Structures are given as C-alpha cells and as structure tokens.
Chain A
Amino acid sequence: MSLDMCRADAVLAEKRLAVGVSGTDQLAIVGAGAWIADNAAELEAVIEALRPNEATNLEIDMGEVEAFDTFGAWILERLMRGDGRPRRVALLRLPARFHDLAEDVHETHRQTPSPGQRIAGPLARLADIGRGVEAAFEEVRRLVDMVGALVALCATALLSPRRFRWTSIVHQLDRVGVRSMPIILLITLLIGAIIAQQGFFHFRQFGADDYVVDLVGVLTLREIGVLIVSIMVAGRSGSSYTAELGSMKMREEIDALRTMGRDPLEILVLPRILALVVALPLLTLIGSLAALIGGGFVASFYGMEPSLYLARLQEAVSIADFEVGMIKAPFMALAIGLVACAEGFQVRGSAESLGARTTSSVVKAIFLVIVLDGLFAMFFSSIGM
C-alpha cells in the first residue's frame, strides 16, 4: 500500500534515477527517485551508461529511492549479479519496505533466456525448403488417407444406409446448395453477359455476329460454368467447412465425438462432402443456364432476336459439351470438400492457425479445381469429346 502511494508521487518526482561516482576499479552508484515500470527504460539506460560490470568494487546506495516495483527490483538484481566476473558488491540502505520484493526477485531467474534466437543464413533457407517439401508430401498423404477412409466408410454405409446421416446431408445441402443459389445465379448471369458482350464487340468487326452464340454456348457449358461455380463454392462453402471443423477441433468437440465411439469422419465429414458432390452439379446446371440467359440478354441488346439466339444455340452446342461440363462437377466437389475438411482437422490451438488453415483451404481448393480442369481438358480432347 505504501508502495502504491509512492507510485502516485513518483510520477511527480523529478526523474533523477541514478548517479555514479567512479574511481579506479571502483564505482559508487546512488539510486534515487522512482525505480518503477514507467521509468524502467530510462533507468536501464542510465545504469548501462555507467558500465557497472567493469568495476571490481561496486557500491550501490538505495537510500534515496522512493518507489520500487518488480522492474526496479530486477534492474537492481541485474546490477548486483554483473556478468559473472568476480568482484565485490555492497548494497547499502535499501529501505526496509522494499526488502521482501528484492528478496523475491533475487530468488528467481537464475539463467536468462535470450529473446527469440533464430538460425539465419542460407542453411536456414535450405531447411525451410526441406520442411516445405516434407509438408507438401504430408499433405498429399493426408488427402489420400481421407479418400481411403471415406471410401471404406461409404462401402460399410451402403450395407446399413442409416449410417449416411440423411438429416445432416439435407441440412448441408440446404446450406451449400439452396442458400448459395442467388449469388451463383447472379455471378454466372453476369459472366455470360460479359462474354457475349466481348464477343459481339470484337466479332462484329468482321461480320461474325452469329458465332458469338457458339462462343457463349461452348465456353459456358464446357468450362466457365463449372469453373466459376466451383471457385465460388470453394470460397463460400469450403471456407466455412474448414472454419467449422477447425473451431470444433480447437474446442475438443471432435475429441468428444471420438470418446463417444463415433467417427468424426462419418458424422462430420461424409455428410458435408456428399452434400457438396450432390449440390455442385446442380449449381453448375443452373449456373450454366443463367450464363446462357445472360448471353441472350446481351444478344437481344445487340439486335439479335431471342428466337434466333435459341435456334443458333441449338445448332452450336451438342449434348457432349453439356456432358463435359457436368462430368467434371462432382470431381471438383470432391476436391473442394476433401481439402476443406482435411484443413479443418489440421487446426491447432491458436486463433491464428484457424485463420491460416481457412486461407490455405480456399487457396488449395481453387488451385486443385483449376489443375483438375486442365487434366480433364486433356482427357476429353484425347477421347474426342
């Protein structure tokens, strides 16, 4: 309590914290004022400037010190300890009310941990690369693990369909399918319109207006529809899967499920991934339709009759174009769902790791979607679709 009063006064007191008188191999330090947190930086600087570790005979007079807290006590303690060279230290006139604290601090902290030592240089770079490669392989292994576990789960669940958790699947379908329809319709409509507008703008120069319909139809059905929808779903639903599972992991909810003898893969992951696998093709279908309609709007704006647009569309696109787009959709869904759930399970204790995993879930899912799309393009062209 006395300390507390002193502390209030100390703010007003002049800041003369320590004065040193040095002789040959000898240093006398007279402390004064408030040796408290607010003055600690200054106090440290003043004392370091006196180079106390070089004196073999040190005398510290604390009689004038008016306030004293852990910060002051530690600086005094550090002063008395020196750097290990043998020397004589005398502590004079430390006010009795500070004894307990000085004693407490004296007991602690026998070795000083250095703040954040880190290996630097090219070797560290190399180690970073090594760790990165290792992590990438680990990542692939985890995904493959999860695919295997899910396939096994599906196989056993087919024998007893009750294990599919229909309620949960329907709930997830509502979340990732029905509720994402408005935004997906809007975006794909705009994309279709933009493609058509660009087509008319450039094709008109050499009178190839009719081919704009081919452009919109083929591009939308084969590539853009499924790609845009997958990217949207990765950002919208993949991220929420990761965040949900991650925070459940942090709060030990997943461990709780395990201890009740329930497999988190069965209860949490399978319904989510199945919902995505069902929802994404449907979203791709309506998204592609919306893009075609968006293209139609722009076409009528450029003076092409809707009936003509439809007739051109029927000539331009074949059922194969539609199939190419739709076949890809469930695979995209699987990739997004697997990455999102695997990342969710990777969340560790900290809030930061939840954020990092959610980011990496979206980034990896979008990357995988585009790589898969490229592989499918090669596959379909080689089988002539």
Chain B
Amino acid sequence: MGQSGLTQAIEVADLVVGFGGNTVLDHLDLIVHTGEILGLAGASGGGKSVLLRTLLGLIPKRKGQIAIFGVDQDKATSLELQVLERRWGVLFQEGALFSSLDVFENIEFPMREYLKLSPRLMREIAAVKLEMVGLKPEDGDKHPSELSGGMTKRVALARALSLDPALVFLDEPTSGLDPIAAGEFGVLIRTLQRTLGLTVFMVTHDLEALETICDRVAALADGKIVEIGALAQVLESEHPWVKSYFRSVRSPLPLSRAPVTP
C-alpha cells in the first residue's frame, strides 16, 4: 500500500497551530499515503484532535501548508474545496449525528445534499450502508437519542461513508466501546478499507487498534510527529514519551502480539 508516484492523500508541512500564548502544534510535518490506514497516537490534550480539526479546516492555522489530495486549502477556490469535502467523510468522537433526523435520514443526508437520487434508491443504499457497518435495517427508523454508544459510532461511520469517500477521518472510533466491540469495530474499518479502497486517518488511544488496524502509526508529542512508521519501528523509538507510552504494549498486559523489542 501507499505506493509512491501517486498524489499523497494528506501532506502537512511546517504546521503551527496555537491558542493565545499556547502553541499546540509546533512545526509539524506529516504525510499520509493514499490507501493506507494511519493511526495517530498521543497523550490526552497533546493536540491529536487539534491536528484533526485543523486538517478539516475547523481550526485556523498560524503557519504551514496542508494539502489533501494535492489541494492546498489556502489556494483552493471554494468550488475545489467543495469537491474536496465531497471526497472525505468524518467520524466525530461523539458521533455528532443530527438529533432531529432518524438514522436513515442521517445517512441519507450527504446523498440528499450532493446527489440527485430517487428516494427509493437513497433508502436502499442507506440500508446497504447500515448493514455494512453491522446494524439491522430495523435500526434505521430509530432516532440518535435511542441508540447505544456502539450503535451511535456505527451509524456515524455509515454516515461518514455515505458518499463512498476516498478519505475517512476517524476521531477515536473505538473509545467508549467495550474491548470486544472495539475489536469488531476495528475489523469493520479494516474490511471497509479493503473493499472500498479507502485512505483512513485515525486518531486513537487504543493500543490494540493501533496494532491490529493500522498500516502505520504516528506518535505525536511536544507538538510534533516524533516517530512514524510500522508499529514495530515506533516501538523501538528512543523518544522518552513514546517509550513510556508504548511500554504498556510490551508489559505488563500480554495483549500484544507485536514483535518484542530487545
């Protein structure tokens, strides 16, 4: 995956983001290859979500360039940006489902906005998406307030995938799920990535998700990406924060199937 010669899915160069006198991202560089699943790990409050929201254009940056599929957000016209937004899907941490619409309507919402489909086709495709994320068509008539945490995540994923995007941003997709559900969700993301050929940018705390789902792992510390590569490579990092963070993978819990480092 991630062959060279193609446009990279995400290219970030020299990114600086801060609030007031507080610099959160400090000259950060990052490349996400097309077709890979990249997991971003980092401490709570370390700027993972800030990076994600900056990529999405929700937080203004102080300095640096961000290009997604080769489109630089500063230079793009509003039409180009719209085409870009049409090609990505976002799973927010709390789901961010529209509370006044039912599940089907939530999934259909992007289709309704961007495509002129017949109501029948739209409903059928929404049902296909719903089943792809492991829910039943009967769940489609429920409202977001009637869903459990895991179901909310799944519906949010179905909505993120509604338009068959090329790039999906996942903000803590497995947080708040029990380990079994989290594992299933990981497998689901992996399967969908394979069948749909997605690029996935995933912010996560979940070491198991990093290990089982991600092609590459990026560690964010001190406002920079301090280590990026296959998990095995990140585990060998000498950076003190990365070392202490991933120590729990090696010991004491034997949940890891990762290669043990010397």
- A residues with a Cβ closer than 8 A to B are 1-5, 7, 36-38, 40-41, 44, 69-71, 74-75, 78, 100-101, 104-105, 107-109, 111-115, 348-353
Contacts and interface: CB of A to CB of B under 8 A. Distances in A.
Nearest to B140: A113
Given A1-B3, A70-B161, 16 more contacts: A36-B164, A44-B121, A70-B128, A71-B164, A78-B124, A100-B195, A101-B195, A108-B128, A109-B137, A112-B127, A113-B140, A113-B141, A114-B120, A349-B99, A349-B144, A350-B100
A115 B100 contact: no
A79 to B, nearest CB: 12
Question: Interface residues of B: mostly helix, strand, loop or mixed?
Answer: helix
29 contacts: A4-B35, A37-B111, A37-B114, A40-B121, A41-B118, A41-B121, A44-B118, A70-B161, A71-B125, A71-B164, A74-B125, A75-B121, A78-B124, A101-B196, A109-B127, A109-B128, A109-B137, A111-B137, A112-B127, A113-B123, A113-B137, A113-B141, A115-B120, A115-B122, A115-B123, A349-B144, A349-B145, A350-B143, A350-B145
Interface string B156-176: 000001011010000000000
A71 to B, nearest CB: 6
A41 B115 contact: yes
A114 B123 contact: yes
Contact of A350 (B117, B122, B144): B144
B204 interface: no
Question: Interface residues of A: mostly helix, strand, loop or mixed?
Answer: helix
B143 A349 contact: yes
Contacts of B191: 104
The size bracket of the interface on B is: 35 or more
A108 B123 contact: no
Contacts of A36: 164
Interface centre among B100, B114, B161 (most CB of A within 10 A): B100
B75 interface: no
Contacts of B141: 113
A351 B121 contact: no
B257 interface: no
Nearest to B114: A37
A4 B125 CA distance: 20
Nearest to B120: A115
A38 B144 CA distance: 28
A353 B99 CA distance: 9
A78 B124 CA distance: 9
Contact of A37 (B118, B163, B194, B199): B163
A7 B166 contact: yes
A306 B2 CA distance: 88
Given A100-B195, A104-B195, A113-B123, A351 B99 contact: yes
